[in-house]
Chains A and B, each alone.
Chain A
Amino acid sequence: MPELAKLTIEDAQMLLREGAISAEELTQSVLTRLFAVEPVVQAYLSVQEDAALDAARTADARRAAGDDAPLLGIPIAVKDAILTKGVTTTCGSKILKNFVPPYDATVVQKLRAAGAIIIGKTNTDEFTMGSSTEFSAFHPTHNPWNMDYVPGGSSGGSAAAVAANETLGALGTDTGGSIRQPAAYCGIVGLKPTYGRASRYGLIAHGSSLDQPGPMTKTVTDAAVLLQAIAGHDPRDATSLDAPVPDYPAELRRSKGFDGLRIGVPKEYFIDGLNPAVDTAVRNALILAESHGAELVEISLPHTDFGIPVYYLIATAEASSNLSRYDGVRFGVRVPADSMWETYFETRAAGFGAEVKRRIMLGTYALSAGYYDAYYLKAQKVRTLIQRDFTAAFEKVDVIFAPTTPDTAFKLGQKIDDPLQMYLTDIFTVMTNLAGIPGISIPAGFADGLPIGLQILGPALGESAILRAAHAYEQLTDWHHDHPDL
């Protein structure tokens, strides 16, 4: 029997069903592994050891009584940007360091209903604003493949925890790449669903027209299983889509692989600044797909260059509005001052870190009188052009292949003082959020010992198509069998 913490969700489900292992043994193995490597990885902000073991024993009792819920007894980590009832949820910010949510996010409620065991809350850049997890107010997280490097962000805690076998799977959130970029940097699978595919109720809001929760897992099949558990309409999120949820894992089992799949190759994603090893990895993936029956189609997404400026104006504008709620009145830290007015200023000055302040400032400016038309409104018009690029492309192709990031992970501290350089690591991921479409990052090789991510994009509600392509690639490669030496 291998170390249980190293199991995929799929294999653990099978062993639990056969009665070969118990949920308690599995959870104990994950906790043992977690406590052994956490001193160096630092993926978690809190670990719910006792609650997890209790939930595991409950899961074993349910199974003994004949229950076979899809995730029964499976340990899952949850990004600390997602509310968990009765469990401190900080979103990586000092301003929420004592915040104990009175309710579960819908996706957490769904995980629990599916039988999952919440093992702990994972690290994130403060209010999910960052690409390295270095902007967490508590501590940075380290890349399990090389401790001198960042795990990416903002879901860097979830990505590192999965890569280091400190959980079987995790939830992240993705506003401009925050699931896919850390998945690429840590060599795991990360899927951002279509905007509205999963409920945002109980996600700590960053950019409300962009935010989506999604699975971060060791394999594509596991991503399908976890997506299945969290997808669906939620009356408490008016932007959630009232569309039927396919049986994603069953569709993968019936999949025809690459045969007949039309894959778009966007020339704008193969730019000069691309790390040659990343370029080669993606091109090799295309060659492999073609040799197994896929048709490659050259496409153009002409407004790609505008993705980063459009994204950073819209996301910060929405964030500046969303974060106005942190005023020291109803929840969060308050810094007392002589007047209510001064209390606002002092509370927000002490409670927010530098990157959050920077983004609130940028967003406030983009929305302010005299600049609204030139920045916010113009950005929303260019966003329409970006969406039309994708609509036109998906008339010709089923999925699009691209790099997830232009380079592999960077060193801790390397970009922390240069916000623009940090923003540019999201250059290939932000467009997906602006267009509302789904995207997945899967392991596609290594450069100097650091993982490379292949990104696969699909049309709105095209999760089945991107899972199919990702699964076909995974079946033909061994990257997902590599684990960091920890």
Chain B
Amino acid sequence: MTTLSKSDVENIAHLARLKLTDAETELFQEQLSAILLYAEAIQQPDTTDIPPTTSAIPRHTVMRADEPADGLSTAEALANAPDTAEDSFRVKPILP
């Protein structure tokens, strides 16, 4: 299960929206396989009836008063954008 094929690596890269070079694909295939082989150790402990951790410190639902407050201005929100137009983020058309 832990030895990744080249197509496994390509599939993960696709899911992660990463374009990899052939050299990166080959390197990650080798390195991630080694890391996953090491990570197999976590299968050892018996976790029957052990709940997964959902929070490092147990928490109750956090509530706060619904009070209006200032957020970022449009100019501040757009200040770091690579491309803007008409008070919006500008991107290539999503639909061809």
A interface, CB within 8 angstroms of B? 98-100, 102-103, 194-196, 209-210, 235, 238-239, 241, 303, 305-306, 308-310, 312-313, 320, 324, 327-334, 337-340, 343-346, 348-349, 352, 354, 357-358, 360-362, 364-365, 368, 374-375, 377-385, 387, 419-420, 423, 433-436, 460
Contact count A vs B, C-beta below 8 Å: 163
| Contact between chains at B17 and A324 (CB < 8 Å) | yes
Contacts of B26 in A (CB 8 A): none
Q: How far is the CB of A438 from chain B (nearest CB, A)?
A: 11
- Residue picked from B45, B56, B77, B80, most chain A C-beta under 10 Å: B56
Which residues of chain B have C-beta atoms less than 8 A from A235's C-beta?
A: 64
Closest chain-B Cβ to A108's Cβ sits at a distance in Å of 17
Contacts of B8 in A (CB 8 A): 365
- Give the docked Cα–Cα distance between A328 and B9 (Å): 23
- Interface on chain A toward B: helix, strand, loop, or mixed SS? helix
SS of B interface (majority)? loop
Question: Are B18 and A360 interface neighbours, CB within 8 A?
Answer: yes
B47 contacts which chain A residues (CB < 8 A)? 378, 381-382, 384-385
Residues 47-90 of B, flagged 1 when their CB comes within 8 A of A and 0 if not, give 10011111111010010100000001000110111110000010
Please tell me if the beta carbons of B53 and A387 are within 8 angstroms of each other in the complex. Answer: yes
Task: Find B42's partner among A238, A358, A378 (CB 8 Å cutoff).
Answer: A378
Give the docked Cα–Cα distance between A358 and B89 (Å): 29
Mask for B10-29, Cβ within 8 A of A = 1, else 0?
Answer: 00110111111000100010
Contact of B57 among A102, A196, A377 (CB under 8 A): A196
B43 at interface by CB-CB < 8 Å: yes
14 A-B residue pairs with Cβ-Cβ distance under 8 Å, sorted by A, are: A305-B41, A330-B81, A344-B17, A349-B20, A358-B31, A360-B18, A361-B13, A377-B52, A378-B42, A379-B42, A384-B47, A420-B34, A433-B56, A460-B57
Give residues 35-49 of B contacting A (CB, 8 Å): 35-36, 38-45, 47
- A368 pairs with B12, CB closer than 8 A: yes
Q: Which residues of A contact B35 (CB under 8 A)?
A: 312, 362, 419-420, 423
Which residue of the partner chain, among B31, B32, B77, B83, contacts A102 with CB atoms under 8 Å? B77
A195: chain B residues at CB < 8 Å are 56-57
